[in-house]
Amino acid sequence: MNSQITRNGKILGGYVPNNVISAIEDWDIKDIQIKVSCDGASGTEISSIDHTIFEVVPAHSLRRFKPIDLGFFDTRTAGAGAVIEDFDFVQPHLSLEEMKSAIAAAQKVAATNAVLAKAANEKSKKTADAAALKFNQDAAAKGDAYGLFRMGERYRDGNGVEKDLAKAKDCFQKSAAGGNQDAALALKKLSE
């Protein structure tokens, strides 16, 4: 019943028949999920038990655990095995200097990511604004009352287009004529 604890192809520890788990790398491991199975003579799995050890195995150490209660064996059992299916890392062991260096590196990465995220958001906003402007322009060109109203707002406020109160008034008038009450109010405020 030997099994290795691996992650990304790297051996991190193992489980041996005498209920010992070893953590051979630089990380503590915890919540070790073990599957114990009983196989028939053909190698087919007859039954299995999943068991999780909710304890920590410190880095570079061996830890003995209580035997896993397998219950009753099927009389057809020809062999049994244990496989470590999963586990979690607790944390890497770092010296104070390594920790300070890791924190500084993480802060640099966070600062860089913040700059990149801001640039991506600005680019995304520009793309969205350009798409919205085109949508409003196309709708207004077709005589759509809402599209005309939005273009009236854009010309009035200089949003995506150059500010032009005469064009704003024209758009609001056409939109109001199409039944848009918001355009009628905007036209009234524009005339005041």
Q: What is the pLDDT of residues 104-161, one digit of tens each?
A: 877 887 888 777 778 878 888 888 888 899 999 999 999 999 999 999 999 999 999 9
- Which two structure tokens, joined as six digits, stand for 178? 């199409």
Residues contacting residue 181 through CB under 8 Å, at least 6 positions apart: none
Amino acid at 147: G
What's the pLDDT score for residue 31? 82
What's the pLDDT score for residue 19? 64
Is a pLDDT exceeding 90 seen at residue 163? Answer: yes
Is a pLDDT exceeding 60 seen at residue 13? Answer: no
| DSSP string for the chain | --EEEEETTEEEEEEETTTEEEE-SSEEEEEEEEEEEEE-TTS-EEEEEEEEEEEEE-TTEEEE-PPP---PPPTT--EEEEEEEEEEEEEE---HHHHHHHHHHHHHHHHHHHHHHHHHHHHHHHHHHHHHHHHHHHHHHTT-HHHHHHHHHHHHHTSSS---HHHHHHHHHHHHHTT-HHHHHHHHHHH-
- pLDDT, tens only, 18-69: 566 766 667 777 887 877 777 788 888 887 878 788 888 887 777 777 766 6
The single residue listed with the structure tokens 């009983």 is 38
Dihedral sign computed on CA atoms, order 11, 13, 15, 18? positive
Amino acid at 55: E
Q: What is the rounded CA–CA span in Å between residue 157 and residue 151? A: 10
Residue 177 pLDDT level (bands cut at 50, 70, 90): very high
What's the pLDDT score for residue 94? 65
